[in-house]
């Protein structure tokens, strides 16, 4: 989940707010699909603040663990020309708690997560100022900026970290079809994760999204959107090559989003993801994920 005023966004078709996804067990949300659908107008800088809350569990018995977190995301986007947009995302955990096998909180942390750097380039743009067809290539790199050494030597839990300790890459394609005041869109992205200094590797993942958005009111300042989002992730692997049996798998989310342009440059938005179908490996529980955000555009 990330946007500007509705009229400006529609005029440049990639106006759709971020379709945020929960990650697999790692909790670092490295998918970063923002640039696939959302970008400022050419020559504008966008500053955005987003807050996410989630909780989830995995494993049974002595292998049980849970996670609760509230994460703020500061996003900076700039579009030097119509076809190109770049962005930097700075995640900051207001708090992140870990629950042990008895369900008791055994760790609390806060601080900077893994910074993401991305770019979006429109390979195809047909239909004039308000193009009906746009095909965009998106690339993202996640840096190992979040703390990944929390704990004591020999007893470091990967799921208590604020970052994965790896350089990860993601690439994807997004297509939008514009029929004012409605837009349909679809995207697919592949994420390849690195291996951290302890030899731990989060499973690579494939993401897909399909959805539609419509603007309302005479001013078109209100939008509503519905999405179906899917994620298929591989097992996480430990340093000895063994895999975490309670990691990865397939899940789909039904997501609803709404946004209201307070002014031509200031947008308030929110999103809710609800797990719709799960075929996850082992024992995992994913719950609804809520996002709220603000975005402001200004010319440079």
Strands 205-216 and 284-286, by their bridges, are: unpaired
User: Which pLDDT value is given to residue 264?
Assistant: 83
User: Which pLDDT value is given to residue 33?
Assistant: 35
User: Which pLDDT value is given to residue 142?
Assistant: 96
The structure tokens listed for 189 are 């992205």
- Domain assignment of residue 277, yes or no: yes
User: Which pLDDT value is given to residue 43?
Assistant: 87
User: Residue 268 and residue 2: Cα distance in Å, rounded?
Assistant: 9
User: Which pLDDT value is given to residue 35?
Assistant: 57
Q: Reply yes or no on whether the pLDDT at 171 is more than 50.
A: yes
**Per-residue model confidence as pLDDT tens digits over 222-253:** 999 999 999 999 999 999 999 999 999 999 99
User: Which pLDDT value is given to residue 36?
Assistant: 60
The structure tokens listed for 281 are 């490996």
Instruction: Tell me the torsion sign for CA atoms 134, 267, 113, 287.
Output: negative
Phi, psi of 36 (to 5 degrees): -65, -35
- Binning pLDDT at 50, 70 and 90, where does residue 121 land? very high
Q: Reply yes or no on whether the pLDDT at 70 is more than 50.
A: yes
Q: Which is more confident, 285 or 30?
A: 285
- Domain assignment of residue 221, yes or no: yes
Q: How many CA atoms lie within 13 A of 8 on its CB side?
A: 26
* pTM of structure: 0.84
Computed over every residue of the chain, the mean pLDDT equals: 85
User: Which pLDDT value is given to residue 154?
Assistant: 75
- Domain assignment of residue 1, yes or no: no
Q: How far is CA 219 from CA 32, 91, 202, 290, in A?
A: 30, 33, 45, 27
Cβ(38)–Cβ(67) under 8 Å?
A: no
- Three-class HEC string of the chain: CCCCCHHHHHHCCCECCCCCCCCCCCCCCCCCCHHHHECCCCCEEEEEEEEEEEEEEECCHHHCEEEEEEEEEEEEEEEEECCEEEEEEEEEEEEEEEECCCCCEEEEEEEECCCEEEEEEEEEEECCCCCCEEEEEEEEEECCCCCCCCCCCCCCCHHHCCCCCCCEEEEEEEEEEEECCEEEEEEEEEEECCECCCCCECCCEEEEEEEEEEEECCCCCEEEEEEEEEEEECCCECCCCCECCCCCEEEEEEEEEEEEECCCCEEEEEEEEEEEEEEECCCEEECCEEEEEEEEEEEC
- Domain assignment of residue 245, yes or no: yes
**Per-residue model confidence as pLDDT tens digits over 276-294:** 999 999 999 999 999 999 9
User: Which pLDDT value is given to residue 101?
Assistant: 93
Q: What's the CATH number where 17 sits?
A: 2.40.160.40
Q: How many CA atoms lie within 13 A of 134 on its CB side?
A: 32
The domain tally of the chain equals 1
User: Residue 288 and residue 263: Cα distance in Å, rounded?
Assistant: 30
Q: Reply yes or no on whether the pLDDT at 153 is more than 90.
A: no
Range of weakest confidence among 21-25, 135-139, 171-175 = 21-25
- Binning pLDDT at 50, 70 and 90, where does residue 218 land? confident
How large is the average pLDDT for residues 106-129?
A: 91
**Per-residue model confidence as pLDDT tens digits over 15-25:** 333 333 222 22
Q: Reply yes or no on whether the pLDDT at 260 is more than 70.
A: yes
User: Which pLDDT value is given to residue 37?
Assistant: 63
- Binning pLDDT at 50, 70 and 90, where does residue 300 land? confident
User: Which pLDDT value is given to residue 53?
Assistant: 94
Residue numbers of the domain that contains 185: 6-299
Range of weakest confidence among 27-31, 140-144, 170-174, 278-282 = 27-31
Q: Which is more confident, 265 or 11?
A: 265
User: Residue 80 and residue 69: Cα distance in Å, rounded?
Assistant: 35
User: Which pLDDT value is given to residue 34?
Assistant: 43
């Amino acid at each position: 989940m990330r946007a500007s005023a509705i009229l400006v966004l529609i005029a440049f078709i990639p106006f759709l707010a971020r379709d945020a996804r929960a990650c697999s067990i790692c909790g670092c949300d490295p998918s970063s699909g923002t640039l696939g659908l959302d970008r400022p107008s050419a020559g504008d800088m966008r500053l955005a603040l987003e807050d996410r809350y989630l909780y989830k569990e995995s494993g049974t018995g002595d292998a049980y663990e849970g996670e609760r977190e509230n994460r703020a995301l500061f996003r900076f986007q700039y579009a030097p020309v119509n076809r190109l947009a770049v962005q930097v995302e700075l995640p900051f955990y207001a708090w992140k708690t870990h629950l042990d096998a008895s369900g008791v909180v055994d760790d609390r942390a806060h601080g900077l997560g893994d910074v993401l750097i991305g770019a979006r380039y429109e390979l195809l743009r047909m239909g004039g100022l308000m193009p009906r067809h746009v095909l965009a290539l998106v690339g993202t790199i996640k840096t190992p900026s979040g703390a990944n050494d929390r704990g004591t030597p020999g007893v470091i839990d990967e799921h208590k970290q604020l970052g994965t300790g790896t350089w990860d890459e993601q690439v994807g394609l997004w297509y939008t079809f514009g029929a004012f005041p409605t837009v349909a869109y679809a995207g697919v992205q592949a994420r390849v994760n690195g291996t951290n200094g302890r030899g731990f590797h989060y499973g690579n993942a494939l993401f897909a999204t399909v959805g539609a958005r419509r603007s309302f009111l005479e001013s078109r300042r209100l939008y509503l959107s519905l999405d179906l989002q899917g994620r298929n992730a591989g097992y996480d692997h430990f340093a000895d090559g063994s895999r975490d049996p309670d990691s990865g798998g397939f899940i789909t989310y039904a997501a609803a989003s709404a946004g209201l342009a307070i002014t031509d440059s200031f947008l308030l938005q929110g999103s809710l993801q609800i797990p719709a179908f799960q075929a996850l490996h082992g024992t995992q529980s994913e719950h609804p994920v809520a996002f709220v955000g603000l975005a402001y555009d200004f010319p440079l």
